[in-house]
Amino acid sequence: MPPATGPGRPPRGRSRPDAAALWRRPLIPGLCLAMTACSGPTQTPEPYAYVAAPALSIEIPAAPPVPPPPPPSPRTQAPAPTLAALRRAGPAPPRIVKPPRPLQCVPYARRLSGIGIRGDAWTWWRQASGRYKRSRRPAVGAVLVISRAGRSLGHLAVVVRVVGDREIVVSHANWLNRGLIHENAPVKDVSLWGNWSKVKVWYTPGDHYGGRTYPAHGFIHPAVSAAAR
């Protein structure tokens, strides 16, 4: 005979329901309903809108103006002076002047002395024969003619001051093959007989006489010879 079942006893073969599960059952459907009511209608998100970024404006400061070059120094950038100007200046220390254009000794000596001879320096002595006075004695305005030696074509230097029988001061160009003018450069006679056949020239960069001895013909004077008159 099967056991009796009361209202508080579950039927045989069934487990007693959990009390917590009993009170959660009606809560879950109600909660879901409340969430649905609060959420409202579902909205589809709008697609992203791509907005172009504004162009960057970068200001680059202007470069500072370049200052103009300084004016040339009158000592290193100057026109070739005249013989009269050199004579008026009187005794002065040797110096090197840079002309506007490089100069050779021949055109510089011709312009400074007024002697109208052309051609290589070593040919001046021969060309002056019968045209200009030649001598072994220096004088202001005369041109000292240094002879040709080796590969050199000779050299010309204009006398601007006579210091003594065996020393003079000259102005000449291109002495160091750079087209520069050497002003107030001493020259001395080192010949055995004192006839200006051998000379030494002042080396301005080193502030002393050069060690080399140069053969010289003598001096050509601006005065026209009697034979050429």
Measure CA 183 to chain center: 27
Q: What is the pLDDT of residues 67-95, one digit of tens each?
A: 776 654 444 455 556 666 666 666 789 99
pLDDT value at 28 more than 80: no
Q: For the whole prediction, is pTM greater than 0.75?
A: no
Q: Give me the sign of the Cα torsion angle 121, 127, 128, 134.
A: positive
User: Which segment of 40-44, 102-106, 115-119, 225-229 scores lowest on mean pLDDT?
Assistant: 40-44
Are 79 and 143 contacting, i.e. CB atoms less than 8 angstroms apart?
A: no
Residue that wins the pLDDT comparison between 130 and 74:
130
The reported pLDDT for the residue numbered 74 is 41
pLDDT value at 47 more than 60: no
The reported pLDDT for the residue numbered 45 is 53
Q: What is the pLDDT of residues 137-176, one digit of tens each?
A: 999 999 999 999 888 899 999 999 999 999 999 999 999 8
**What are the phi and psi torsion angles at 97 (to 5°)?**
-115, 135
Average pLDDT, the chain: 79
Residue that wins the pLDDT comparison between 27 and 123:
123
Q: Give me the sign of the Cα torsion angle 113, 117, 120, 125.
A: negative
The reported pLDDT for the residue numbered 91 is 78
The reported pLDDT for the residue numbered 177 is 79
Residue 86, amino acid: L
The reported pLDDT for the residue numbered 61 is 73
pLDDT value at 134 more than 50: yes
User: Which segment of 31-45, 86-100, 103-117, 212-226 scores lowest on mean pLDDT?
Assistant: 31-45
Q: What percent of the chain has pLDDT over 70?
A: 62
CATH of 83-228, one of 1.10.287.3510, 3.90.1720.10, 1.10.1060.10, 3.40.50.300: 3.90.1720.10
What average pLDDT does range 195-216 have in this prediction?
Answer: 95
Q: Can you tell me which residue has the tokens 């459907």?
A: 29
* Separation of alpha carbons 18 and 16, rounded Å: 7
pLDDT value at 214 more than 80: yes
